[in-house]
Structure 1
Amino acid sequence: MKPTILMAPRLPQRLVERLGETYTLLGPMARSAPEALPEGAEEVEALLTIGTQKTDAALIDALPKLKLICCYGTGFEGVDRVRAKARGIQLSNAADANAASVAEFALGLLLASARQIGAGERFVRAGRWQGNAVERMAFVPGLAGRRLGIYGLGAVGQRIATRAAAFDMQIGYHNRNPRPDLPYLYHDSLLGLAEWSDALIVAVRASAENRHAVNAEVMRALGPQGYLVNISRGIAIDEEALCNALEAKVIAGAALDVYEHEPVVPDRLKVLENVVLTPHIAANAETAQYAQQDLMLANLAAFFAGKPLLSPVAL
């Protein structure tokens, strides 16, 4: 008899088909709440979800046989880990499966913002480009020799650093702890990192201590020639402070792939010319998605075989 598993959000079709070969697959759910559980949920042993979706104590307790929560991506902030631990439930995520994809997208956003790629496209589309005519776009600093600050030097942050080094950038970072094994300049505070940086890329986890860590003071420290990029979670940046900073040219520009209340993007951001906006697609490379799917399948297989998870999350 196939084990029963529950898919909370709709997952990619390729993964759904492969799951159906081995498991009795329930879901997706209309919402992550006990009243939205499908028939047969009392037999569910594993819950498949994403970090941004709520998996609270009420939902966990409504699944009496639940023993594993698998997060499709790297995030797990929506899971009530205290309740999961109390129930003896294991937790897994995608580890660094999408790190390369997110890192390359971060550099793409930095280029789009600092090198004015979006503004250049709008310039051409508006018919304003007249070859070597008097009206030209203003010069901007290049990336070579500039200082890149990385807030969060985990799997993604490290890959951002290696890619930025290929652009001949100087690399600094702020982390919970210094990494003496890596050749980058450690700053003991985010504010200090921002003061040092010409561009700041946010690559931290969505945890309570990181909420609005990039605030008005940090943006003032980054300064009027500085650029801010976020590919982590929207809560890391104070969006109201960011709007103020962009409108007042406290910083030169920003590029965002994530937002505090997704899919809502503040109207103030949408009308600004000095910000690049994308719809949370940094991990959307095919290689990254397939790697995440394969890892979820491998974690499920290990769990039901009584073996250690491949990418466990400590509770």
Structure 2
Amino acid sequence: MKPKVLVTSELPGDAISRLEAIADVKVHIGEHDLTKSQLIEQIQDKDAVISLLVNEIDKSVLQSAPNLKVVANYAVGFNNIDVDAATERNVVVTNTPDVLTEATADLAWALLLGIARRVPESDQFVRDGKFEGWKPNLLLGRSVHGKTLGVIGMGRIGEAVAKRAKGFDMEVLYYNRRQLSVKKENELNARYVGFEELLRSSDFISLHAPLTDESYHIIGKEELTMMKSSAYIINTSRGPLIDEGALVKALVDNVIAGAGLDVFEREPVLEPVLDQLPNVVLAPHVGSATIETRVEMANLAVDNVINVLKGLKAITPVNPEIVKK
């Protein structure tokens, strides 16, 4: 009998076809994500599940699936999964690191340039028929070249963002749990500094830290007040890294110059007023949204499932301490 697999959303590419060759696959198709009760109902007889960040895989969900062997998250993050509970049940948890690094770094820079040079405002200005010719003071933004970029969280994506700053002759400051090697710092032209120094010295701050209990609201009222009034903050990591209410107030009161956000604290719900502010660029969590990247993510998630179902090692396990017997 073939193993049974639940995929909580349609995926791009032909990865699902490869999975169907070795398993009975049920793909959730619909405009709305599975509710928790629907997920529990559908996962009960499954050997594997490919999940999205919006799918909460907690202890109760795991307990409802006695045959479950692997949860393959279609994302680099996995804060939607109770990894400890999965490990207790000998369930492998995997994610999709590396394949979305460059795409997410590109989007961070798109948001940075977009807010600094007021690109969305300019686009709307032209579409509204307001453009009547060149004027000296029309839609003035801020220069990016030669400024200081602060990177909070210097993992794969943080490094990719820092690497791109070299093309703009920017000074790069970074704050991380661990300092990089001297060789890596020289490659990135990056300098390790304390958290407060980064906040006070940077013209642009880009967040790339994972979401943990320690990093929750790492940027709040106090931190926003430390930033330059001319500074911008970019978040393509996890929404709850920023206290969204405090950010809205800071933007309204011009405590900082602006923000570029691809993720939100309670997405898809936005903090009231946020979508009405001219000094913020908003994107609907599309950091990895290139055709090439999303297909690679699907392939990696499916390959992880196939490996585990065949009794092989997962390619990108989050809990590698599990030894399949």
Query: In the alignment, what sits opposite 2:3?
Result: 3
Query: In the alignment, what sits opposite 1:304?
Result: 309
Query: In the alignment, what sits opposite 1:37?
Result: 41
> Percent identity between the aligned chains?
30
SS in structure 1 at match of 2:273:
helix
> Residue 185 in 1 paired to residue 174 in 2?
no
Q: CA deviation at 1:261?
A: 1.1
**Cα-to-partner distance string for 1:192-236 (whole Å, 9 max, x where unaligned):** 211121000111212222111111122122221100111011100
Query: In the alignment, what sits opposite 1:276?
Result: 281
Structure ranking higher on relative contact order (CA contacts 8 Å, 6+ apart): 2
SS in structure 2 at match of 1:137:
coil
Q: CA deviation at 1:89?
A: 1.3
Q: CA deviation at 1:172?
A: 1.2
> Residue 83 in 1 paired to residue 85 in 2?
yes
Matches within 5 A, 1:153-172: 153-172=154-173
Cα distance in 1 between the residues matched to 2:69 and 2:36 = 17
Aligned partner letter, 1:158: E
1:194 to 184, 192, 199: 199
Q: CA deviation at 1:126?
A: 3.5
Cα distance in 2 between the residues matched to 1:302 and 1:158 = 30
What stretches of structure 1 of length at least 5 have no aligned partner? Answer: none
Matches within 5 A, 1:216-227: 216-227=221-232
Cα distance in 1 between the residues matched to 2:254 and 2:236 = 22
> Residue 214 in 1 paired to residue 231 in 2?
no
Equivalent pairs, count: 311
Q: CA deviation at 1:177?
A: 1.0
SS in structure 2 at match of 1:166:
helix
**Cα-to-partner distance string for 1:158-217 (whole Å, 9 max, x where unaligned):** 11111122222111111111112422111232x321112100011121222211111112
**Cα-to-partner distance string for 1:261-290 (whole Å, 9 max, x where unaligned):** 111122311111100111111111011111
Q: Which moved more, 1:69-78 or 1:23-32?
A: 23-32
Query: In the alignment, what sits opposite 2:111?
Result: 109
Aligned partner letter, 1:188: G
Query: In the alignment, what sits opposite 2:264?
Result: 259
SS in structure 2 at match of 1:171:
strand
**Cα-to-partner distance string for 1:231-274 (whole Å, 9 max, x where unaligned):** 01110000011001000000001111111111112231111110
The normalised TM-score by structure 1 is 0.92
Cα distance in 2 between the residues matched to 1:136 and 1:69 = 52
Cα distance in 2 between the residues matched to 1:303 and 1:195 = 47
SS in structure 2 at match of 1:22:
coil
Query: In the alignment, what sits opposite 1:47?
Result: 49
Q: Which moved more, 1:56-65 or 1:159-168?
A: 159-168
Q: Are the counterparts in 1 of residues 40 and 61 from structure 2 also a CA contact under 8 Å?
A: no
Q: CA deviation at 1:34?
A: 6.9
Aligned partner letter, 2:41: L
The normalised TM-score by structure 2 is 0.89
1:56 to 58, 80, 85: 58
Q: Are the counterparts in 1 of residues 40 and 64 from structure 2 also a CA contact under 8 Å?
A: no
Q: CA deviation at 1:27?
A: 4.5
Q: Are the counterparts in 1 of residues 13 and 298 from structure 2 also a CA contact under 8 Å?
A: no
Q: Which moved more, 1:108-117 or 1:299-308?
A: 299-308
Aligned partner letter, 2:70: L
Cα distance in 1 between the residues matched to 2:36 and 2:10 = 12
Q: Which moved more, 1:106-115 or 1:122-131?
A: 122-131
Matches within 5 A, 1:280-295: 280-295=285-300
Aligned partner letter, 1:238: D
Aligned partner letter, 1:32: K
Cα distance in 1 between the residues matched to 2:167 and 2:13 = 36
**Cα-to-partner distance string for 1:76-135 (whole Å, 9 max, x where unaligned):** 101111211111111110011111110001000000001111122233233333324466
Aligned partner letter, 1:235: P
Q: Are the counterparts in 2 of residues 152 and 174 from structure 1 also a CA contact under 8 Å?
A: yes
Q: Which moved more, 1:251-260 or 1:200-209?
A: 200-209
SS in structure 2 at match of 1:217:
helix
Cα distance in 1 between the residues matched to 2:134 and 2:21 = 62
What stretches of structure 2 of length at least 5 have no aligned partner? Answer: none
Aligned partner letter, 2:164: R
Q: Are the counterparts in 1 of residues 76 and 96 from structure 2 also a CA contact under 8 Å?
A: yes
SS in structure 1 at match of 2:99:
coil
Cα distance in 1 between the residues matched to 2:207 and 2:219 = 9
Aligned alpha-carbon RMSD (Å): 1.9
